[in-house]
Homo-oligomer: A and B are copies of this chain.
């Protein structure tokens, strides 16, 4: 009969999981259990601390609804989501525009718009233009690429956070033109506090973090033969540009609005100009959507 101690428990667990049929699941769980155990040993976790952790992840799971994904928020605020994005970019056979967080506010079935349209029902006084080109990494235009955009309104809220979260606003799908060009109207996005009324908010407060994301616009861009690009543009000036609570902002994705851009298709409007470059798809490429529709995740969970 074996004797289990704080060292032999790890091999006992790995041994029992060694019959896993799927080799990739086996590999991931082995690495996960080794690091989980190493964490507990290194922190010398007490039963009370363990219980506090169980209570915390239970609360995170119970806070998830069809309109809210608290576990993605936790992953985002621990830097895990951005890390997975960086690993995704590293596996690419070409270096295109960097991936950034899909975040918890992505939704499927956003409405279709034409180039030049405004994606918000009420652009108010903060209307801006966004234009640019979708190209390959050599700068060759990719015609008719699909572009999905979502962002906060000029109150700093996503539609999912509104009184009727089933309504869609400030999100939409476009297609680039034959030369890869796109131009759309929207409002200047606002930086905002991530939702802090759940268990992740308790963590952020205990860590004395400010909880803000810098202003940004999400993009999901796809074209046949290219890697799907999930990214965001971060709009300066923003005092939290270098301390994004979910670590999405990075130098190459920071943009400014200009009113003196003579190439802008929106004369007079503050305009963001950004050209996206897509890497060629490889056979082994997987989706870059670090995040997903909360309702879909809940549906998968049951």
Contact = CB atoms under 8 A, between A and B. Distances in A.
A5 to B, nearest CB: 5
B250 A55 contact: no
Copies in the complex: 2
Contact of A37 (B12, B57, B79, B249): B79
Which of A27, A45, A58, A250 has the largest number of chain B CB atoms within 10 A?
A: A58
Interface string A20-36: 11101111110111011
A27 B43 contact: yes
Nearest to A245: B16
A286 interface: yes
Given A51-B292, A286-B48, A4 B84 contact: no
A199 to B, nearest CB: 7
B62 A301 contact: yes
B17 A209 contact: yes
A38 interface: yes
Contacts of A36: 35, 39, 78, 80
A77 to B, nearest CB: 9
A95 to B, nearest CB: 12
Contacts of A173: none
B25 A206 contact: yes
A288 interface: yes
A137 interface: no
Contact of A9 (B86, B88, B288, B297): B86
Contacts of A81: 50
20 contacts: A1-B241, A1-B250, A6-B83, A6-B86, A9-B79, A9-B86, A13-B78, A17-B207, A35-B42, A47-B288, A47-B289, A48-B286, A50-B80, A51-B292, A51-B297, A54-B69, A58-B301, A59-B302, A61-B61, A61-B62
Interface of A: 1-6, 9-10, 12-13, 16-17, 19-22, 24-29, 31-33, 35-51, 54-62, 64, 69, 71-72, 75, 78-88, 90-91, 199, 206-209, 241-243, 245, 247, 249-252, 254, 286-292, 297-298, 300-302
